[in-house]
Amino acid sequence: MLRAGLKLIQLYRLLVFSGFYYIVFLKILYSITKGTILAYYLVEGAVLQCTNGTKNSKLVVTSQNTVWMSDKLCATVQDCAFLPFGECTNKDSKTCTPECSGWSGGKKDLLISGNAALMDKDEALCTSGGGMISVVNSGQDTL
């Protein structure tokens, strides 16, 4: 980790923080720290996975319709509308009907319509099949 930190400092000294270079720096910092420092906000269309599902799904934002990021609605901890995760491996019927009672975490110091903003590190428990729902991709456009 020390070596990565030194490389980060060297990179910091080389880059001029404006426009494209700043975005590249943030992406490198995120990859070096493996998300421990930076996190992405979730937006509509974020790709999700369930430990009991056979395929990925997408998040549908229903909690608000006023705050946008990357031309998509920002998600909050109250957004529990998902497309099915394929088949549910934990139910006899195998029919995936994802439901959750809310997400863990959220960015509590950024409220959208009174609810914490949803981050890519947050997780939810599926109350229908018992799987853990986590984020594969925030849904934001990346370079």
Over residues 52-102, the pLDDT tens digits come to 999 999 999 999 999 998 899 999 999 999 999 999 999 888 899 999 988
Reading the block at residue 118, the tokens are 């949803």
Q: Sorting pLDDT into bands at 50, 70 and 90, what band is 43?
A: very high
The residues, any chain, with a CB within 8 Å of residue 3's CB and separated by 6 or more, are: none
- Region 113-119: mean pLDDT is 94
- Region 110-133: mean pLDDT is 94
Q: Sorting pLDDT into bands at 50, 70 and 90, what band is 1?
A: very low
Burial 110-140 (b: 16+ CB within 10 A, else e): eebeebbbbbbebebbbebbebebebebbbb
Does an H or E element contain 28, and which? helix 20-33
pTM of the model: 0.71
The torsion angles phi and psi of 30, rounded to 5 degrees, stand at: -65, -40
Q: How far apart are the first and last CA of the chain?
A: 25
